[in-house]
Amino acid sequence: LLGVSGTSMEKNITLDSATIIELSCRLDNKYSHLKSLQVTWKRGNETIRHIDKTENSWSIQLKILDSSKLGNYRCILKGEEEISAIFYLQVPKIEGKEKPIVSYEGDSAIMICKSFGYTPIAWTWYKINGSEQIAINDSLVADKYVINSVSANVTHLKILKLTKEDDGVYWCEAAFELGRSKGNLKLKVLSLMVPLKPFLAIVAEVVILVTIVFLYEMYSKKKEKCA
Amino acid sequence: MKRRFLFASNCFAEDFSSMQQQGEERKEEEPEVPAARKSPSTEAADGGWAWGVVFHFFLVNVLVMGMLKTFGIFFVAFQEEVGGSSEQVSWIGSIMSSLRFLGAPLVAVVCKSLGERPTSIIGAGLVGGGCLLSTQATSVPFLCVSMGLLLGMGFACLYQAAAVMTAKRCRTRLAFSNAIARSGMGLTFLIAPFTQLLIDFYGWQGTLLIFGGIMLNLVPSSMLLRPISTQPPQRSSAKNQDCGSLMAKKDSETLDGCSDETTPREIQLRSAQDLPTTEGLLMSHGRDVSGPVNTSALERLKKPPVDSCSPEIATEAKRSYKSLPPTEKENSQPLLDFSPLKDPVFCIFTWSFLFSHLAYFVPIFHLVARARTLGISSMDASYLISVAGITETVSQLLSGWVADQNWTKKYHYHVAYLVLGGITNLLCPLATTFPLLMTYVVAFAVFCGGFMALVLPVLVDLVGVQKLHSYLGFAAFFAGIAAIGGPPLAGNCNVIYKLYPPQTSSDKTCSGFTLLPICIQGCFFCPSEKKKTKMHFRNLSLYTGNILLVNLQNPTSSLTAAWKKRG
C-alpha cells in the first residue's frame, strides 16, 4: 500500500471469517527524503501498538476474531504534512436489486440475493413493515414463502400468491463469521388492471380503425356499383 | 379509337396516381370513361392505396424489427423469472428471427391461395396472439413456442405479404417506396428505451401485453393491403398491369379483330397485355407485364373459342418472353412453386442475397471493438454507430429515389453499390484514426443503404410480380439459413484470426463477404437481359469456384498464413 502525499487514501478489505491480517503503509521512494516521520496507527481514537517498522513501511498485525474488531483503521504519517490512509475492514457486501421487482397479484415472485466470492454461513430474509423487521420463516407459512439456496452464495426467496400486502421492502441478511451483511430488495405488486387499461385502450383504438377501414371499403364498393 | 385513348389515358393516369397522393386530379383527366369500365374514383383510390401499402410496410418494418431488436431486453427479464440458462433463452430469440425467413416459402403458398390481405391479417393476429399468450408463460419451452414460433411465423406472413403487395402496387416508384418502408428500421432505436420503460413500470408480462396490443395495430393497417382487383380479378389486374407501359395504343387493331368472339372487354384487355410485350420493351416494367401475361392470359385464351386470335397472341407472347422460362406449358401456377429452384437467375440472386446479408452485419458488429482497439472511447464508438444508422436510412431513401428516375437499369446501381461497398471494406484497415473511421463508416453505410433499398426492386425487375411470391419465399428461406450460420461463422473467423490484430481480421472477413456478392452480381447482370442460360451456368461455375475457394479458406489455416504474409 503506497502513500501519496497530500491526498487521503482508502482501501476496502473484505473479510468473511476470522483471520490474522497485516496492514501496512508504505511510502513511495520518491518521498523517502522526508525525514522525521512519525507514524501512528489508529482505530477511531485509540492508538494501536505493535508496530513493525522497516525502512519505508509501517505495519500492524491484527487478529480479527469477531465483528467488534472490524472497522476503520488509519495509518497517519506525520511529517511536514499529514498523510493518512484508511482501511475499511468489513464483511462482504450482498447484492440485492436497485430496481424494484414488479409482479402481479396472484402471481409469484422470486427475489435473489447474491454474495460474491464469500460464502455466508446462513441466510435470513426479513420483510420491512414500516420500521419493523419481520423474519420470514418458510416452515411456518410454507405455502406462501419458499426459501431456496441454489448455491451457497445465492439465495432465492419465492413468494407465492402475491397480494397487495406483499408489496414493500425486503432484506436478505447473510451471516458471516465476523458479522452480518444485508441486501436490499423492493417488491412492487400490481393488480392486473394496471397494464390492462392501456391494453384495452389500444384494442379499442384498433377496433375503431378496423371499423373505419371496413366502412370505407363498403362505401367505395357501393359507389362503384352505383357508378 | 375511343378504347385506345382510354387505355393510354388510363395508363398515364395510373402512373400519375402512384406518383401523387391526390388521385382526384385523375377524374378531370378522364372525362370519357365509359360505364363499362371501372370508375375513375376507384382508379384514384387505387393510387392512394399504394401509399397505404407503403405505410403498412413501414409499420411492419418498425414493429417487427423493433421486436427483434428489443428481444435482448426481454431476455434478461425472462432469465430471472422463468429460469433456464442463457443458451436456452437465446433459443427463443433465434427461433423468432430465423423463422421470419424460414417460414417464407410456406407463407408464399398461403398468400397465393388466400391473397395478401388475409395472410397479413393472419400474421398480425399471430403476432398479437403470441405476445398475449407469452404473458402466461411459465417455462422456457412454452416461451419457445409461444414467442418464438408464433411470432416468427407471424412476422414472416406480415413481411412477405407487405413486400409483395408493395411490388404489385407501386410499379413506377417501387424503389423509392421500398426505401421509405425500409427506413422504418431506422426508427427502431426508439423502441428499445420505450421497452425498458415499460418493463420498469409493468414488469415483463405487462410489457408483453401492451406489445400485443401494439402489434394488433397491424390488423387495420393490413386491411389497407387492398387486393388490386375489386371487380373480376383477371380483368382489373390485367388492366393495371398493362398500365406499366404506354404502348397499348398500338393494340387497337388487333383488339377490334378479336373482340367480336368473346366478351369484348376481356379479350381486349388480355390481348392488350400481350401486345405491349412484343414492342421490344426496354423498360423494366415490361417484365412485370410479361410475367402475368403468359400465365393468366394464356390460360384463359385457351378456353374461349377465339381461334383466330389465340395462336397469334400466343406466338407473340412466346417471342416476348425474355428472362423467364417459357410458361406456356404450364396451365396453372401450382401453389408451391419449386420452379425458382431450377432457375439460374434465382440461384445467382440468392447467393448474392445470402452473402450480402452476411456481410451486412459483420462490420457493425466489429466496429465498436475496432474503435476500442484504436483507442477511441466508447462514447465516440456509439456515436459512430448512430451516425451509421442515420446515414444508412438517408441513403436508402436517396438510392430509392435515384433508382426510380430510371436513368439506368436498377441492377446497375445495385452492382455499383456493391462494388463500392466492397472497395470501402477493403480499404478499411487504413482507417486508424477517428475521422478516418468515421469516413469509412459513412461510406459503408451509404453503400449498404443504397444496395439494401434495391434488393426488392431488382428481384421484381428480374422475375416479375406474378412469380414474386415463390422467388421471394425461397430467397428468404436460404437467407434465413445463412442468417443462422452467419454470426457463428464470422465469430469463427475471428477466433482463427485471434492471433492477429482483430482490426485486420474482421474487416478482411467482411470485405471477403462483400466481394462475393459483387462477383455474383457482376456475372449475372450481363446475361440476364439476353437470357443466355449457358452463359449463366458458365459464369456461375466460375464464380462458384471462387466462392468455394474463399469458403474453404475461411475455416482453415491456409488463409491465415496468406494473411500473415500480407502483414
Q: Write down the domain spans for chain A.
A: 8-90, 94-190
Task: Compute the radius of gyration of chain B from its Cα atoms.
Answer: 25
pLDDT of residue B361: 61
Of B203, B219, B221, the CB nearest to A103: B203
d(CA B491, CA A100): 36
Q: To which residue does cell 521512494 refer?
A: A29
d(CA B91, CA B75): 10
Span A21-39, pLDDT tens digits: 777 777 666 665 666 667 7
Local structure of B467: helix, strand or coil: coil
Q: What share of chain B is helix, strand, coil (3-state, %, to 5)?
A: 80, 0, 20
d(CA B46, CA B174): 15
pLDDT of residue B364: 64
A220 touches chain B (CB under 8 A): yes
Distances in Å between the Cα of B212 and the Cα atoms of A79, A211, B54, B124, B134 are 70, 19, 22, 10, 9
User: Which residue, among B84, B64, B65, B63, has the nearest Cα to B75 in the 3D structure?
Assistant: B84
CA angle, B350 as apex, B345 and B355 as ends, to 5°? Answer: 135
Closest residue in A to B77 (Cα–Cα):
A101
**Chain A residues whose beta carbon lies within 8 Å of the beta carbon of residue B203:** 102-104, 190
User: Which residue, among B66, B51, B74, has the nearest Cα to B187 in the 3D structure?
Assistant: B66
pLDDT of residue B137: 76
A221 touches chain B (CB under 8 A): yes
User: Torsion angle of alpha carbons B350, B351, B352, B354, nearest 10°?
Assistant: 80
CATH 2.60.40.10 fits A8-90, yes or no: yes
**Chain A residues whose beta carbon lies within 8 Å of the beta carbon of residue B42:** 220, 223-224
**Chain B residues whose beta carbon lies within 8 Å of the beta carbon of residue A102:** 199-203, 206
Asked whether the beta carbons of B265 and B292 are under 8 A apart, the reply is no
d(CA B548, CA A14): 57
d(CA B288, CA B460): 7
Measured in whole angstroms, the distance separating CA B392 from the mean position of its chain's CA atoms is: 17
A224 touches chain B (CB under 8 A): yes
State percent of chain A over pLDDT 90: 1
- B residues 43-72 lying closer than 8 A (beta carbon) to A: 45
DSSP A130-179: TTEEEE--TTTTTTTEEEEEEETTEEEEEE-S--GGG-EEEEEEEEETTE
d(CA B156, CA B149): 11
Asked whether the beta carbons of A62 and A50 are under 8 A apart, the reply is no
CB contact under 8 A, A224 and B42: yes
Mutate to test the interface with A, among B210, B224, B225 (most CBs of A within 10 A): B210
Domains A8-90 and A94-190 share a fold: yes
CB contact under 8 A, B213 and A104: no
Q: A198: burial class by Cβ within 10 Å (0-12, 13-18, 19+)?
A: middle
Mutate to test the interface with A, among B202, B214, B222, B226 (most CBs of A within 10 A): B202
d(CA B131, CA B144): 12
Of A196, A198, A210, the CB nearest to B220: A210
CB contact under 8 A, A110 and B220: no
Q: Give the largest CA-CA distance in chain A.
A: 110
**Chain B residues whose beta carbon lies within 8 Å of the beta carbon of residue A205:** 217
Chain A to chain B Cβ contacts (< 8 Å): 76
Q: What is the mean pLDDT of residues A84-93?
A: 79
Local structure of A3: helix, strand or coil: strand
- A residues 106-125 lying closer than 8 A (beta carbon) to B: 107, 110, 112
CB contact under 8 A, A202 and B206: no
Span B193-206, pLDDT tens digits: 888 888 888 888 88
Q: Give the largest CA-CA distance in chain B.
A: 80
Q: Closest Cα of chain B to A209: distance in Å?
A: 6
CATH 2.60.40.10 fits A94-190, yes or no: yes
Closest residue in A to B216 (Cα–Cα):
A206
pLDDT string in tens for chain B (567-residue length):
444 444 444 433 344 334 443 434 434 433 444 444 445 555 555 667 788 888 888 888 888 888 877 777 777 777 777 666 777 777 777 788 788 888 888 888 888 888 888 888 888 988 988 888 888 877 777 777 777 888 889 988 888 888 888 888 877 778 888 888 888 877 777 787 888 888 888 888 888 888 888 888 888 888 887 776 543 444 333 333 433 333 333 333 333 333 343 344 433 334 333 333 333 333 333 333 333 333 333 334 344 443 443 444 334 334 433 333 333 333 345 556 666 667 777 777 777 777 666 666 666 666 666 676 777 776 777 777 778 888 888 888 888 888 888 777 777 777 777 777 777 776 766 667 788 888 888 888 888 888 778 888 877 777 777 777 788 888 888 877 776 765 555 555 554 443 333 344 444 444 444 444 444 444 444 444 434 344 344 444 444 434 433 333 333 333 333 334 333
CB contact under 8 A, B223 and A214: yes
Of B207, B219, B226, the CB nearest to A210: B219
d(CA B62, CA B60): 5
Closest residue in B to A108 (Cα–Cα):
B81
Helix H or strand E segment including B439: helix B434-463
pLDDT of residue B234: 40
